[in-house]
Structure 1
């Protein structure tokens, strides 16, 4: 359990760094992250949300490790489903195409860091 939490914390940090850099690069390239109501999503906001939901993923992994007979398989199924659901809000935000595409890409980027890392940590180790 302790190993999983440590790996999850490092993966969370990596996901935050990667999505923050991605958002900063996108902003530099001209993506404004402006929503239809005029609100602008700050890069720091992307970092915070990524960190929060990555930690939610760690909690899910810990729960499945404790209460599931097949935690890795259940984790992948659950988190891929949640990732798919997380792709809906960028389309509902009524932002321009560049902002929507970037937000979707950032969701997928965070998932690409978190899901495989935690799934590997949930697999039984053969000694």
Structure 2
């Protein structure tokens, strides 16, 4: 006779309820977002200290340092939402997330290339797109793999 407790576990088999795994993934995502915001802003400050002006020709104004944190935070949260959705509705969330995130990162490299900014600014912007990707993609992919394994999926 098998007994089932209120979390849906069969006696002798333990698995973490989906809601807990989703919250854990979201929590990891928020921490990774904060780390990506700090890393990107610090990298932008370093580039600025080295003489990069971050001036985009269309507006003629330089991108302010807080702007890097805000944009990084916004798109990192979008990545967390994508990861949570894939975890919830995909059979292979880690693989799907990895391909989606790498593709979106590659697409994000286009605007700096066509912005008309000077070489130093364009190069720095390309690098600054890769900094949060280097934080977010491995962190969320690893978390998706771990949580999928916990579920026995």
Band of TM-score, shorter chain: over 0.9
Q: 1: distance between equivalents of 2:132 and 2:122? A: 16
Flag the structure with larger Rg: 2
Structure 1 runs of 4+ aligned residues shifted over 4 Å read none
Structure 1, unaligned runs of 5 or more = none
Asked if residue 125 in structure 1 is aligned to residue 130 in structure 2, the reply is no
Higher helix share: 1
Local SS of the residue matching 1:69: coil
Residues 1-127 of structure 1 correspond to what in structure 2 (within 5 A)?
1-37=22-58, 38-123=60-145, 124-125=148-149
Task: Please list every run of 5 or more consecutive structure 2 residues that lacks an aligned counterpart in the other structure.
Answer: 1-21
TM-fit CA distance, 1:20:
0.3
Output the aligned Cα RMSD.
1.1
Higher relative contact order (CA 8 A, sep 6+): 1
Paired with 2:27 and 2:40, the residues of 1 have a C-alpha distance of 20
Instruction: Report the TM-score when normalising by structure 2.
Output: 0.81
